[in-house]
Amino acid sequence: SEWETKEVCEWLESIGLGHHTQEFRRNEIVGRQLHRLTEEHLVAMGVGLIGQRLVLRHEISRLHSEMSDTLDETVVWSASAVKSYHGACDYFYKRKIRPCLRK
């Protein structure tokens, strides 16, 4: 994720853990680091309650999964791929389809 610490803190607020924003700011946690946070990191940052750590880890996992799904749905085309695809379609049309249309 391209989130800066500010966006991470807004996300913490949205999941009901806004009281931990100070620790995240102090440790300069940004979006791309969220999925790397371990139990040890969270304890060291002052997220002392096991229940809150479980919620946080679950929400981080869910966020990571959502971001991965978004990236998986992104289609990237290069000019050469389009040209190659068009060329293959053109060949197929000229050799296989057009002769059938003439009959």
Q: What is the pLDDT of residues 5-58, one digit of tens each?
A: 999 999 999 999 999 999 999 999 999 999 999 999 999 999 999 999 999 999
pLDDT in tens, 54-94: 999 999 999 888 877 665 555 555 555 545 555 666 766 67
Q: What is the mean pLDDT of the chain?
A: 82
> What is the per-residue pLDDT for 13?
95
Tell me which fold the domain 5-72 belongs to.
DNA polymerase; domain 1 (1.10.150)
Q: How far apart are CA 7 and CA 54, in angstroms?
A: 21
Contact present, 29 and 8 (Cβ < 8 Å): yes
Q: How far apart are CA 21 and CA 23, in angstroms?
A: 5
| DSSP secondary structure string for all residues of 58-96 | HHHHHHHHHHHHHHHT-----HHHHHHHHHHHHHHIIII
pTM for the model: 0.63
